Amino acid sequence: MSPPPLSRGARDLPSRVAARHARWVRRLAEQHRARTDGEVVTGYHNSNYVVPLGWTLALLLRTMPFRARVKCRTPLQAVEVVPRVWPSENEILKVVTRHLKETPRCLVDLGDWQMHTYHAGSPLSEVNPEGPVTYELMAALAEFFARTAAVPAGELPPLPADWPADGDTRGFLDWLIDFTERRVHRPNRARFDTLFEAVGIRPHVMTEFKRASPRLTPRPFCLLHTDVHRANVIVDHRSFAVIDWELALYGDPLHDLATHLVRMGYDKEERSRMCALWREAMCRAGLGDLTAGLDTDLRVYVDFEYAQSVFPDIMRAALALPGAATDDAYGAAADRVCRALRRAAEPLRLDRAPDRAEVAAALREWDADVRGASPRDLVADDGR
């Protein structure tokens, strides 16, 4: 394993001293991770262990130790259900933290886990899990999107070779659709085929969605977070920060807005307000060309969000069933599936939406078929 990156204070040291510095950092970081007085915060893609930052490690990392805490962040092994084009979150954080100062930065990258600064506060999902969001916070989030979009593209890590050209919005949408079909739907079709069929998900439904998708207005590409939902918005009485950048992309800004609208659970009035605030923030930042086609194209990305989410939502509901599931467990899982089907019904042109009893029966039959098979893999949650 390669040594951890050097802190700012060690970059110009002779190589032997620098190597010793790296060993000290690694040893102290591992000791912090092994502490027993921390707080476990498990997210959708990572397990986080929050501990106080000791004076010695703080000095080595050239950061402030007073009342500071750090987050020991370990990726969770899970089936892929959302795209991740930059394997290392640290690589994107190096760029983001230069422009969005409130974003927690990576202090140490040890390969299989990282140590990040910790942003004090509470997730919005705990403070306000379902209720209306204040105008002030919505305006601040709109400004966040504008500041994210302004991050220079030339500073971002390299993209995959097949990435759509800047401004090719239809190519970007097609890439997202193809990912859903090739990496989410098709690999899991055999395992969940009977369940998908029972609830009305046709085998080629994403191919049909792609074929029916309209032309999009060309728009410049920019950095996207793609996962701004209540659990990733940390608020306190003075400020807020958006965390968890591992799913960041470079592409059509309307995709970022659409995922935010859906995953925040805004009502119709809030969606309209957020769109207006987003447009105003982009224009104030001199990025008005990113808003071209907003009134027509946003709906396409919202439809895609509903369409792609139906697969992980159904799989998660099925895989979460406990052993010897009760009627209540099947009913709760059916509620989750029915919600996903209702939202995807129009975008995927589903023939009909089965009722709760039919879905519960389909889940029960699928569950009975897989009992005794190999242990279930965990399916990653994408925050909705």
Q: Is 8 within a domain?
A: no
Do residues 245 and 269 both lie within one domain? yes
Segments forming the whole domain that contains residue 356: 124-370
Do residues 144 and 213 both lie within one domain? yes
Q: Is 165 within a domain?
A: yes
Which H helix or E strand runs over 260?
helix 253-263
Residue 207 has a CB neighbour count (10 Å cut-off) of 14
Can you tell me the mean pLDDT for 274-278? Answer: 98
The domain tally of the chain equals: 2
Give the rounded distance of the alpha carbon of 110 from its chain centre. Answer: 22
Q: Is 383 within a domain?
A: no
Do residues 363 and 234 both lie within one domain? yes
Q: Is 344 within a domain?
A: yes
Residue 321 has a CB neighbour count (10 Å cut-off) of 19
Nearest CA-CA partner of 350 in 146, 201, 168: 201
Distance CA 73, CA 114 (A): 5
* pLDDT tens digits, 325-345: 999 999 999 999 999 999 999
* pLDDT for res 196: 96
Reported confidence tier of residue 80, pLDDT bands at 50, 70, 90? low
Q: Is 59 within a domain?
A: yes
* CATH classification of the domain holding 107: 3.30.200
Q: Is 102 within a domain?
A: yes
**Across 143-152, 281-290, 354-363, 371-380, least confident range:** 371-380
Do residues 62 and 172 both lie within one domain? no
Distance CA 264, CA 118 (A): 23
* pLDDT for res 292: 98
Percent of the chain whose predicted confidence (pLDDT) is above 70: 83
Q: Is 382 within a domain?
A: no
* pLDDT for res 239: 84
Q: What is the model's pTM?
A: 0.85
Q: Is 280 within a domain?
A: yes
Percent of the chain whose predicted confidence (pLDDT) is above 90: 64
Do residues 131 and 111 both lie within one domain? no
Distance CA 306, CA 171 (A): 19
Can you tell me the mean pLDDT for 131-137? Answer: 94
